[in-house]
Amino acid sequence: MQPTPSEIFQKLTEENRQQEQHYRQKCSQVGWLRLFIFLAGVGSVVYFFRQDLTSVAWIAVMAFYVLFLVVMRWHQRLRYRQFHHEFLKKINADETERLQGKLLSFDSGERYANSQHLYTSDLDIFGKHSLFQLLNRAVTSIGKDKLADWLKHPAQETVILERQEAVAELTSQLSWRQELQAKAMHYKHDKQNSNLFFEWLHAPDFFRNKAWLKVLLFVLPILTVGSIFYWWFVEDAPSYPILGFMLVQYILNARYAIFREQYYEQSSGMYEVLKSYTALLAQIETHSFTSTRLQALQQQLQIKLKTASGYLNELAAIIQYISARLNVYMNILLNGTLMWDYYWMYRLEKWKKNMAANLEPVLLAVAEMETLASLAAFQFANPDYTLPEISKQPFEVEATELGHPLIFLKNRVTNNFRMQGAGQTLIITGSNMSGKSTFLRTVAINLVLAFAGSAVSARRLRAYPAQVYTAMRTEDNLAESTSSFYAELKRLKMLLDVTTSGTPVYYFLDEILKGTNSRDRHLGAQALIRQLHEQSASGLVSTHDLELGNMAQQNSDYIQNYSFNSTIEEDKILFDYKLHPGVCNSFNASKLMQLMGIRME
């Protein structure tokens, strides 16, 4: 019997916990070894100098220094493994929490929320207990941005199919996906610093129109160091050439101090991000893929005769050398004799010429790979979900056992559902709390998943790609002096604008025009449904207005009635949350009011 995803995640959590403890103990042991080597080295050197064994003392200095460096690198590798298993432990523990519906500790993606978007606010795409929290495994800011973009914009059929193929391939590659995620977690990701760096990539070069400075960049350090050696080894050699060359460097440093500072500020915060991208790129470049999209992304990472990870690793090294200026004494020495900042600024600009045009495709490949890995992780964690079929029949949606992915009840109720053709409206009536609104959100959020290239919460789903539109949570706005009714009208105007533009639209309208009197609401809803029938659109409308269901009698070619019902047994109201054909025939408002203490006649 195959283990469940929950059992796999719990097993991996425990295995990585044990590995983390193992490497933690090894780190502690090697840490004590480092201290012993340091103390032994100091003691040995002092002893040899006191015994006038100067040559032996200097040999001891070099030997213990090299040994200390070797042990230090060993310690760093052990620390890396310790943290790596700690991250893998967290990744699997997080997967277990997602299966249990515990999403509050994850990035909510609130920054992507937009109340004016066509559907994200109504469907909990972003925010607390959102689809973004359920899906996202990206660590980098660009990976999160890419996932948010896919959730906000439905893809075309060919793109959806390419993503599905890639997701299907990555779903079974659990170890590779988690390694990709863990490697990114070793480093900090500061989007603000990233933006500064990318602005620098497109900024004019400092050395442009400064050919004379390029010459000095290579000549002055040679003259300065040469004069120092000459003064050191030649008796009675004058020192003023040294002072003269260093004075020239001091003047140049003062003259362009602001540019040197800008280069440092724009690059300093990028070291951690670049090391992270380098690790991710190396993980992607060395893997073997079979799907078309994954191979195309991998191809984007081959630049000229070098891999993208090689270029980024080179850039990270340059930035690390620039950071040497943080040490006051090193700054004075290096910039006073070697024009240190200018040399690495020159190297940065040379790197930029080779990579500026190629960097964006490389980072987009990383972002898309993280997004595809997120969708694959979602499917792996939910093996009962399916990748949907893409229909060529306009507005065809056919689902079997369709459920809401953000409802985590063990006995979650699912429904079968079917609609087809432009201009169709399904009117959903039902008693209070029977599941009308939840059903609309269930269909809509699964379409969002389908058109992003993801698996959906259904045993089977077949859907025609189109724009999703919702009007469910319209509220008043005191700051704009907008009533809830007017806010809803503005929302419906947005729907009409989208449909009249020729864009195919699935609409999901919950209790439309609820902010006005019953007569105007009824007439307005009828008029809207007739108008939408003439457009390239189809959808669902939920309502308490049972008379709206009468439209199906005269317009059976494009209006169908469905309902959610409830039954009352003594003081209990029972719901089956199942979709039934026809207008609702059971009501519970009076009973609910009675249970709340209102005396009903």
DSSP-assigned states of every residue in 560-574 = EEEEE-EEEETTEEE
Q: Looking at 149-290, which runs of residues are DSSP E strands? A: none
Q: Distance between CA 249 and CA 242 in Å, rounded?
A: 11
Least confident of 201-210, 295-304, 417-426: 201-210
**Do 525 and 149 form a contact (C-beta atoms < 8 A)?**
no
Euclidean distance between CA atoms 135 and 141, whole angstroms: 15
CA separation for the pair 448, 378 (Å, rounded): 14
pLDDT in tens, 95-129: 999 999 999 999 999 999 998 999 999 999 999 99
Range 356-370 average pLDDT = 86
Assess whether pLDDT exceeds 70 at residue 78. Answer: yes
**Window from 28-37, 317-326, 550-559 with minimum mean pLDDT:** 317-326
Confidence of residue 19 (pLDDT cuts 50, 70, 90): very high
pLDDT at 452 over 60: yes
How many CB atoms sit inside 10 A of residue 215's CB? 10
For residue 476, pLDDT beyond 50: no
Whole-number pLDDT of residue 330: 76
- Contact call for residues 545 and 517 (beta carbons, < 8 A): no
Neighbouring C-beta atoms of residue 442, cutoff 10 Å? 26
Over residues 390-399, the pLDDT tens digits come to 999 999 999 9
Least Cα distance to 213 among 244, 162, 259, 264 occurs for 259
Comparing 147 with 547, the larger pLDDT belongs to 147
Enter the tokens of residue 510: 């919950």
Rounded distance between C-alpha atoms, residue 17 and residue 93, angstroms: 10
Pick the CATH number of 389-595 from 1.10.287.130, 3.40.30.10, 3.40.50.300, 3.40.1710.10: 3.40.50.300
Confidence grade of residue 473 (pLDDT, cut at 50, 70, 90): confident
**C-alpha closest to that of 509 among 407, 428, 414:** 428
Lookup: tokens for 470:
């919702």
Q: How far apart are CA 577 and CA 459, in angstroms?
A: 18
Spatial separation of the C-alpha atoms in residues 374 and 457, rounded to whole Å = 16
- Whole-angstrom Cα distance, residue 415 to residue 24? 50
pLDDT at 593: 46
Report the candidate in 568, 565, 520, 566 with the shortest Cα–Cα distance to residue 545: 520
Phi first, then psi, for residue 284 (nearest 5°) are -80, -40
Q: What is the CA radius of gyration of the chain?
A: 33
Cα(277)–Cα(186) distance, rounded to whole angstroms? 11
Q: What does the alpha-carbon distance between residue 107 and residue 189 come to, in Å, rounded to a whole number? A: 14
Q: What is the mean pLDDT of residues 543-570?
A: 82
Q: CA triplet 8, 9, 15: central angle to 5 degrees?
A: 90
To the question of pTM greater than 0.75 for the whole model, the response is yes
* Residue 477 predicted with pLDDT over 70: no
Could you tell me the sign of the dihedral formed by the alpha carbons of 347, 352, 353, 358, in that order?
positive
Model confidence at 168: pLDDT above 50: yes
Residue 99: the pLDDT is 95
In the numeric block, the tokens 């994200």 are attached to: 120
Give 31-93 as a DSSP string. HHHHHHHHHHHHHHHHHHHHTT-HHHHHHHHHHHHHHHHHHHHHHHHHHHHHHHHHHHHHHHH
Distance (Å, whole) CA 68 – CA 38? 7
Nearest to 324 by CA among 342, 304, 340: 340
Nearest to 309 by CA among 283, 288, 289: 283
State the chain's mean pLDDT as an integer.
87
Residue 191 has pLDDT above 60, yes or no: no
What distance in Å separates the CA atoms of residue 284 and residue 305, rounded to the nearest whole number? 17
pLDDT at residue 16 in the model? 96
Distances (CA, A) of 323 to 186, 189, 200, 313: 20, 18, 17, 15
Q: How far is CA 29 from CA 35, 68, 74, 231, in A?
A: 10, 14, 11, 48
Give yes or no for a contact between 32 and 62, defined as CB atoms under 8 angstroms apart.
no
Q: Which amino acid is at 189?
A: H
Cβ atoms of 26 and 85 closer than 8 Å = no
User: In this model, does residue 453 exceed pLDDT 80?
Assistant: yes
Q: Which of 550, 583, 571, 551 is nearest to 434 (CA)?
A: 583
With a CB cutoff of 8 Å and minimum separation 6, the contacts of 14 are none
Query: What's the sign of the alpha-carbon dihedral 197, 202, 206, 211?
Result: positive
The helix-helix angle for 157-171 and 292-299 (nearest 10°) equals 90
Average pLDDT over residues 253-272: 79
pLDDT cut 90: percent of the chain above it: 52
Question: Which has more pLDDT, 319 or 447?
Answer: 447
| Angstrom distance (rounded) from CA 338 to CA 164 | 55
